[in-house]
Amino acid sequence: MWPAGAMVLLCAIALEFLAGCVPSSPRFNSDPASVARLEEENEMRFATRIREEEEREDDRKVDVDRVRTRLTAGTAPVTRYSNRTPAGLDRDRLLIDVVSYLGAPYVYGGNARDGIDCSGFTVKVYESGAARRLPRSAREQFTVGSPVPKRDLEFGDLVFFNTTGRRPSHVGIYIEDDLFAHASVSKGVTFSSLESTYYRKRFVGARRVVQPPTASSPR
């Protein structure tokens, strides 16, 4: 029989050896490529469920063509919106870019009009319409700017949702009257209502990304 002290020591050594042989958990891997790969696997795993839930619970259907016509015709309430938003964004410029993506199909990891995902959509619109570079993922975008209460949303604010059960996993751009533009898994780039059952119960917050003044802007 081994002495009790020796057995304890041997067990400790064995555990230390085994710990060194077990690869670290991916959750704690900070390598960007690994994080992106895990996010893609997570998205694909949840895609079917998300699509079914969107279609079943989106009980406030939006007539996208009617909204597009109204916005591009300049009939949005002028008392509420000016060309320059409180965050300093050019509303007309941003809106042109939002509308240009309508109908683009949802493709995870996509960033073009022939296929785009939710955070790719916000990145492209902000980059071309506001000259602002956002982080690539919804989770990272949730850390930029400043938080905005839902009741105080303004055109151009980023709105976030938890569609997978972990962290903000979906993002869109607030437009007006409880409507936001986003790349939906089931519909592609579209307008949806914040008050539909699906989005209302999954809403996790909003962020306002302030546009810094240009050299020619008044101080």
* Residues designated as active site: 118, 170, 182
* Residue 155 to residues 18, 62, 121, Cα–Cα distance (Å): 54, 18, 16
Token pair listed for 75: 């009939």
| Residue length of the chain | 219
32 CB neighbour count, 10 Å cutoff: 9
Token pair listed for 151: 């009741």
**What is the sign, positive or negative, of the torsion defined by CA atoms of 132, 156, 87, 81?**
positive
Pairing of strands 188-193, 203-208: unpaired
Identity (one letter) of the amino acid at 60? R
**What is the sign, positive or negative, of the torsion defined by CA atoms of 26, 31, 32, 34?**
negative
Closest CA to 137 of 92, 102, 177, 171: 171
140 CB neighbour count, 10 Å cutoff: 14
Identity (one letter) of the amino acid at 16? E
Closest CA to 216 of 88, 86, 85, 82: 88
